[in-house]
Amino acid sequence: MQNVASSMYSKNGENGIIYMFSNKQVLEDSVFTRNANRGEYVYTLGSNFDRIYLIESGSVVVGTIGADGKEVISHILGSGQIFGEYCLEEPSEANEFAKAIENTSLRIIKAKRLKELMQNDSELMFKVIALIQEKMNALHKRLINQISMHAQNRVIYFILELGKTFGRKAGLETLVMNYFTHQEIAGITGSSRQTVTTVLNDLRQKNLIYFDRRRLLIRDLDKLEALCQA
């Protein structure tokens, strides 16, 4: 991944597919499963697009291709999140790509079928709207931070949100696997690569984080949040 322009965070929560479909018969009749390996594209730009995806486990990045031919990431999504929902309006060619950033389990439903179910089930309709609204709220929060925070704080905030969203607790510490490169973080946070490197090295020297090419270890989320707020 390169030239990452913006990021949208998901919340770890109840499994999206169970949250949406309380009717087990509907789940069995209409929804099928697909597994995507780390680095595998779920769909590519321009492919036929007529289905909605829910992340059962794992994580996915969604984005497009910039004028320079590099990937531009617009969403970083985790367990319980939905993507591909824009084809609910009208199936068409995909105007984005989706790629697994770790081994991921997906549940998939055709857009036409989901629309039929939503027309007869107001509870399901509101659940779908809530999942989409969650993404929009996260994007809005992200844009506000881009405007109001200094570059250094944007980097710290990104690390904090990464830990909250994708981290696995180990005592006071939080482990994030499949860590982003400094250049990717720079693109996500609207900072320079040099700023990212400086901030991360400073956090490591203060023993607030440890990182290598594949993982990020946050020593204490509360201390990192306090630093971000300061």
Look at residue 16 and tell me whether its pLDDT is greater than 60.
no
73: pLDDT confidence band, cut at 50, 70 and 90?
confident
Look at residue 6 and tell me whether its pLDDT is greater than 50.
no
Residue pLDDT, tens place only, 159-181:
988 888 788 888 889 998 867 78
51: amino acid identity, one letter = R
Higher pLDDT among residues 89 and 50, named by residue? 50
- pLDDT above 70 covers a percentage of the chain that reads 83
CA–CA gap between residue 48 and residue 46 (Å, rounded) = 7
Q: What is the pLDDT at residue 98?
A: 93
Instruction: Look up the pTM and report it.
Output: 0.73
- Residues 167 and 176 sit within 8 Å (Cβ to Cβ): yes
Q: What share of the chain is helix, strand, coil (3-state, %, to 5)?
A: 45, 25, 30
Look at residue 149 and tell me whether its pLDDT is greater than 90.
no
- Tokens at 173, concatenated: 């510490």
CA–CA gap between residue 193 and residue 212 (Å, rounded) = 16
Stretch among 31-45, 78-92, 106-120 having the lowest mean pLDDT? 78-92
Q: What is the pLDDT at residue 59?
A: 86
Look at residue 18 and tell me whether its pLDDT is greater than 60.
no
**Apex 175 CA angle, 172 and 178, nearest 5:** 170
- pLDDT above 90 covers a percentage of the chain that reads 20
> Among all chains, which residue has been given the structure tokens 């007529």?
50
Look at residue 62 and tell me whether its pLDDT is greater than 60.
yes
Look at residue 201 and tell me whether its pLDDT is greater than 50.
yes
Residue pLDDT, tens place only, 122-146:
888 888 888 888 877 876 776 676 6
Q: What is the pLDDT at residue 8?
A: 39
200: pLDDT confidence band, cut at 50, 70 and 90?
very high
- DSSP string covering 46-77: TSEE-EEEEEEES-EEEEEE-TTS-EEEEEEE
